[in-house]
Amino acid sequence: MTPLGLRWARWATLPLLLVGILAACGPQEEEEMGEPIRITVPSGASFQQVTDTLVARDIVDHPTLFRALARVRGYDRQIRAGLYAIPPGEGWFALLDRLVEGRVLTVPVTIPEGWTLRQIAARLAVVAELDEEELRALLEAQEAHEVWDVPGPGLEGYLFPDTYHFSPGSSPETIVGTMTRRYRSMWTPERRARAEELGFSEKEIMALASIVQAEARGDSEMPRIASVFHNRLRIGYLLQADPTVQYALGERRSRLFYRDIDSVADHPYNTYTRGGLPPGPIGAAGEAALDATLHPETSDYLYFVARPDGTHIFTRTLQEHNRARVEARRMWDRLEMERRRESENSSS
């Protein structure tokens, strides 16, 4: 056949190809609606591999035409990785749009304020479909802050507490990247200017905000709690924040004893024995704690002690503080007695 004849043959088959594609992409025959078909597109998969998966799951029955349509629309190099739920009988145009837009199946993951990396790893391991210890080792790597452009040390305090939507099996890189971007978005020019006005670095603000977060039961007292720590730092007092000792111990305890403090006396996060702020955050501070730390209440309080209802008694002198501790201890003892009576009544 002459070159002219070959060219003509190619053009002659084009209408047939288009007819085939349109027929395959057109309205689907009536069929029983069933459960969506789940497929996973791995990161870096070629369009050929994606098509093979779609054929194997009976989603696409004419792979050549499907690939031709994708090439015509310029979609064959734009497919996004992730887990997809494909409705039965979905047309090719809609299917390609879904794959290119990355409309992946996601699950909500909520990270509460104040959580440590240890707690966060346990929750993220489920969505990442990884062993918890393996994920925790990745999150607790000492140099991780250099990779993710946060102050450090490590990622403690920089996986911002919020509700996220991740696709099951998401990579640690995807998860950490999303959460650290959310953290960085909190540092607006106004907040940076305020930190500079106070004479604090970003890391120092986050370390203090994490202590405020851990001390406060609710948002309303955060500015006053922050004022206590700002006041103590300003006059050179030890912070003596219980949550830092609990962080050094590696667990939360309802009540700290002097022996607990002494057992981690040399730990860099023990603010009963070390002056100034700890080396970094002790957990994930939320937006309210961050703003309270940047905008503390104006006060001359230097001490506070917790009541059973989560509120605090604030005092200015050590003598007042000691009286407040006795008062708070009585409240806690009364609460414990009431609990015991209720327990005895329910068991009798």
* End position of a domain, from candidates 154, 186, 218: 186
Higher pLDDT, 294 or 255: 294
Distances (CA, A) of 221 to 5, 11, 133, 256: 84, 76, 36, 22
Return d(Cα 348, Cα 346) in angstroms, integer.
6
What is the domain extent for residue 291?
201-301
**Same-domain check for residues 152 and 121:** yes
Strands 312-315 and 37-41, by their bridges, are unpaired
**Same-domain check for residues 38 and 70:** yes
* Residue 329 counted as domain residue: no
**Same-domain check for residues 111 and 132:** yes
**Same-domain check for residues 114 and 156:** yes
**Same-domain check for residues 100 and 111:** no
Q: First-to-last CA distance in the chain?
A: 101
Predicted confidence (pLDDT) at residue 18 exceeds the cutoff of 60: no
pTM of the model: 0.81
166: helix, strand or coil: strand
**Same-domain check for residues 145 and 64:** no
Q: What is the pLDDT of residue 340?
A: 86
| Domains identified in the chain, total number | 3
**Same-domain check for residues 295 and 213:** yes
* Residue 322 counted as domain residue: no
Structure tokens given for 144: 């991780």
Strand partners, 304: 314
User: Span 133-149, mean pLDDT?
Assistant: 94
* Residue 21 counted as domain residue: no
Q: What is the pLDDT of residue 348?
A: 62
Tell me: the pLDDT tens digits for 257-301?
Answer: 889 999 999 999 999 999 999 999 999 999 999 999 999 999 999
Predicted confidence (pLDDT) at residue 90 exceeds the cutoff of 70: yes
* End position of a domain, from candidates 105, 137, 154: 105
**Same-domain check for residues 157 and 206:** no
Return d(Cα 202, Cα 270) in angstroms, integer.
21
Q: What is the pLDDT of residue 9?
A: 42
> The CATH number of the domain where 82 resides is what?
3.30.1490.480
Mean pLDDT value across the chain? 89
